[in-house]
Each structure stands twice: as C-alpha cells, then as structure tokens.
Amino acid sequence: MTHFAKSGRLLPVMTDKVPLTIKGKENIEKELKELKEVQRPLVISQIATARDHGDLKENAEYHAARDKQSFLEGRILDLEDKLARAEVIDPSKIQSDKVLFSAYVHLLDEEGDKKLYQIVGEPEADINQGLIAVTSPIARALIGKEEGDEVKVKTPKGEAFYEIVKVEYK
C-alpha cells in the first residue's frame, strides 16, 4: 500500500500487523519510555555541552552526540511503528492442543536434550531466553503441530529433528 506525501512523492505505508505477546508489548513500551524520558534528554544535554566547546567542525564530542541522537531517534520511530501496528495476543486466553503463536513448546531433540521455546513476534525474539520468532525456521516447522508429533527443521547446520513433548499456553 502507498500514499502521496505533500511533495507529491509516493511513500510506502506499513500496514502489516506485528504480532506481540502482552509481555513483548510491555517490554517495547518500557524501552520506548526509557529512550524518550531518559536517553533523549541525556543526548540533548551532551549535544549542548559539546556545542559549548567551540568549533563544531572539529568537535568529536559533538559529532558523536549527534550520531547517538540520530540512532536514538531512529530507534524511537521504529518502536512507535511496532506499537502502532501491534496485534497483541494473550497466550492465557488460547485453548488449543496445536502449536500456535505464543505457545510454550516443550521439545526433545535427537540427543534426548529437552528444550523449551515460546513462539513470539520478531521484535521480542531472544533465543537465549527461549523466545523464538514466529518467522524462524523452527517456529514455522512447529506451527500447527501437536503433542507427540515429530518435526524436521532445516537449519544452517543441516536438518534437526524434534519431538513435541508438551504444548501449553500460560
């Protein structure tokens, strides 16, 4: 989808929903608040201090602070966009035997190791915390499956096989 800017140029409009768990939305809101209320004023203060040091052309502090401000403003816009397009899904309200978005999936791999993953939206994915993006290869392989099913996942290291031990929503 597109629309026209005042300049007459055609601009893209992002309409795709961003699926998030309640916790994922809360984390984005928390980060956004930190960026707006703490980091932004800090960077503005750093720019003002650096500006007071004189010649801006050769002022490394000033340029570093401006770069930080640019990154910060971009991150704020990105988070605001994700929140505006968020489709929040409460896992505790889902009653299904199948693996769906927000499911906690207990797996057993080929070596007999147990793994626990929750399927979440891309903005909240963190493999170190067991949060896998709904668009990841493993999540795509799990979606729609049930307890007892075996799944094959294509990974960069080759194929991996898992058995779904338990599916829960909490």
- Provide the 3-class DSSP secondary structure of residue 36: helix
pLDDT at 56: 66
Regarding whether 62 and 131 lie in a shared domain, the answer is: no
pLDDT at 15: 59
Question: DSSP string spanning 78-112?
Answer: HHHHHHHTEEEE-GGG---SB--TT-EEEEEETTS
What is the mean pLDDT of the segment spanning 79-87?
94
pLDDT at 20: 95
Label the pairing between strands 158-168 and 104-109.
Answer: antiparallel
Domain enclosing residue 77, as ranges? 2-88
pLDDT at 55: 67
What is the mean pLDDT of the segment spanning 23-46?
96
The CATH number assigned to the domain holding 103 equals 3.10.50.30
pLDDT tens-digit map of 100-149: 999 999 999 999 999 999 999 999 999 999 999 999 999 999 999 999 99
